[in-house]
Amino acid sequence: MQPLDLGTPLTLVLLFVFFGGTFLISLSIGKKRENADSYMTAGNNVGFGISAASMTATWIWAASLYASATSGYTYGLSGPIHYGLWGALMILFIYPFGKRIRSLAPRAHTLAEILHARHGQSSQLLLAGSNLLGSLLSLTSNFIAGGALISMMSPLSFSTGILLIAGGVLIYTLWSGIRASMLTDFIQVCAMLGAVIIVVPASFFAAGGSSIFADGAQNLTAQQRSFFSSEAFFNQGAPFIAAVLAYAIGNQTIAQRLFAVREDMIKQTFVTATVGYGATVIGVGMLGVLALYLGIEPADGDANNLIPQLAAGYLPLAFLCLFFIMIIGSLASTADSDLAAMSSIVMTDIYGRNIAGKTGAKPQLMLLIGRITMIAATGMAMFFASSRFDILDLLVLVGAIWGALVFPVIASFYWNKVNNSGFTVSVLAALAVFTLVRTGWLPLEGTVAIITDLLSVVGIGVIAGLMIFGFFGLKAGVAAALAMMLVTLPFAVGFLHQYPVLTASLLAYGVSAILCVALSWFNKDEFDFDRIAHHAGQFDTPNT
């Protein structure tokens, strides 16, 4: 096996070519046309090619490539499916809600801004705060992945790696915001997808081709050899199904692209991103499956080393460089999206809709605020990443906040009886229950376990119901929710609480949905949805 080291000069050349190229592309965006709205939504008129590429690139982050390979290595043949397929389908399931949101607020900048128009400040700030925290953690995670990759594949240190990645991303995103992020995403997705097309088959054939499966079959357990592994489903797939719907709703990077794409191209953009994300992530996950068959032990016991090990062990230097660019592309495309998302939230939800008020927002000051936000966020993420800050627990917490938000947010866009207090109380209560269960403060024993199992069944019903509701309407959604609850009830009670991570996530859905419905049902005030478009609109005048 050849060493992983690319050497300092080659590493720097690759980074220079990658970030230099993206920077040059971002220069092609006319600076004279820059205004606050374009900085956040790119004029709401971006075509299918860039939008679909950007959606794909944003959804694929470095962690998803590593995690899919780890899933393949841990759970065998079905592992990558239980990582990539569910993540991909969630893009698809969000699409009908995206269409609804866009029709309600064609000129909005953030989801939280729409909630401000729908409910008021507390609902808006709950979502905006969780969006900000989530994007900061995502940014930190990508910097950590970049620092780790550079320190693993070159003599450069972890901190130097973080500095190079952070500087490279900031330099091309700072000036033009979402427009730079989306345009460069296209080039980055070409690099990522191109690398998958080459690296996966090259690794497969270099490692021995189809004979791998005969020679290495003894390295797999019966569960790992099965396409229907219950271990893979309950430990990887099921928690992911629960989490990703929440991530798609709570993630401003997805919402931002929803507001940027041409309205008539939303469907094909989401469908293409679904296929692109799924095939890419599952494809990289196959490297983990190959490593399992080949009996490769991850270096230092860290499964994140598997892909680089496999690449270094079987691929020539040129392909190793391609692999390096693939990972850099995945983390840069998500990091620039996070920067653009955070700047939009601060510009719109903190300054535009709260500090400046309805008519007082100054677009040029907003632009300055957006750029300062990007610089500050980069500095904070670098600090957290350099400190090797443990972000895993925080990511779980943010995922839970989003899980608690999913039903109230979606209901707010369809049901005119949901109000601010119903929204806020249901989200906070669900979050409290999640925290009690996830931290183990509430032991899942006896009666408590039965109650949490029953509420978790409601959570399963809510997830299934929302998925069907988006495509087929209310009756089908309610029917699917009830059917799913009836089917799972006999199996779930007395069983689900054995999986506390999954239970906590399901409780977030179940409790928020029950309370939101209960508090809204008898509400006599009915909201007029036409008001949203008026209150969530442009900051610049059309010809600024």
Partner 1 sequence: MTEILLSAYVLIWPLIVAGVLLVLVRAFLREIREARKDGRPMI
Kindly list the residues in this chain that would bind partner 1 in the complex (CB under 8 A): 29-30, 33, 42-43, 46-50, 52-53, 56, 77, 179, 182-183, 186, 189-190, 193-194, 196-198, 200-201, 204, 209-211, 213-214, 272, 275-276, 279-280, 282-283, 286, 289-290
The whole-angstrom separation of Cα 369 and Cα 195 is 37
* Helix H or strand E encompassing 355: none
The whole-angstrom separation of Cα 272 and Cα 274 is 5
Q: What is the 3-state secondary structure (H, E, C) of 252-313?
A: HHHHHHHHHECHHHHHHHHHHHHHHHHHHHHHHHHHHHHHHHHCCCCHHHCHHHHHHHHHHH
Nearer to partner 1 by Cβ, of 133 and 271: the residue is 271
342, 373 contact by CB (below 8 A): yes
Contacts of 271 (CB under 8 A, 6+ apart): 92, 95
Task: Supply the minimum distance, in Å, between the C-beta of residue 280 and partner 1.
Answer: 5
310-319 long-range contacts, Cβ below 8 Å, gap at least 24? 310/203, 310/207, 311/199, 311/203, 311/287, 312/1, 312/2, 312/3, 312/4, 313/1, 313/2, 313/207, 314/202, 314/203, 314/206, 314/207, 315/199, 315/202, 315/203, 315/206, 317/6, 319/198, 319/199, 319/202
* Helix H or strand E encompassing 213: helix 211-215
Nearer to partner 1 by Cβ, of 154 and 203: the residue is 203
Nearer to partner 1 by Cβ, of 277 and 509: the residue is 277
The residue count of the chain comes to: 544
The whole-angstrom separation of Cα 521 and Cα 369 is 41
The residue with tokens 């990539």 is: 84
Within 10 A of 495 (CB to CB), how many other CB atoms are there? 14
178, 305 contact by CB (below 8 A): no
The whole-angstrom separation of Cα 339 and Cα 181 is 9
Cα distances from 73 to residues 141, 204, 296, in angstroms, run 22, 15, 9
Nearer to partner 1 by Cβ, of 288 and 363: the residue is 288
Task: Supply the minimum distance, in Å, between the C-beta of residue 185 and partner 1.
Answer: 10
The whole-angstrom separation of Cα 384 and Cα 380 is 6
Task: Supply the minimum distance, in Å, between the C-beta of residue 172 and partner 1.
Answer: 14
Task: Supply the minimum distance, in Å, between the C-beta of residue 17 and partner 1.
Answer: 20
The whole-angstrom separation of Cα 43 and Cα 113 is 17
The whole-angstrom separation of Cα 80 and Cα 358 is 47
Nearer to partner 1 by Cβ, of 48 and 499: the residue is 48
Task: Supply the minimum distance, in Å, between the C-beta of residue 33 and partner 1.
Answer: 7
Q: Give the 3-state secondary structure of residue 46.
A: strand
Nearer to partner 1 by Cβ, of 212 and 448: the residue is 212
Task: Supply the minimum distance, in Å, between the C-beta of residue 14 and partner 1.
Answer: 21
The residue with tokens 């600090």 is: 383
Task: Supply the minimum distance, in Å, between the C-beta of residue 284 and partner 1.
Answer: 8
For helices 317-345 and 62-75, give the axis angle rounded to 10 degrees: 120
The whole-angstrom separation of Cα 110 and Cα 254 is 10
Nearer to partner 1 by Cβ, of 196 and 513: the residue is 196
Task: Supply the minimum distance, in Å, between the C-beta of residue 78 and partner 1.
Answer: 10
Task: Supply the minimum distance, in Å, between the C-beta of residue 276 and partner 1.
Answer: 4
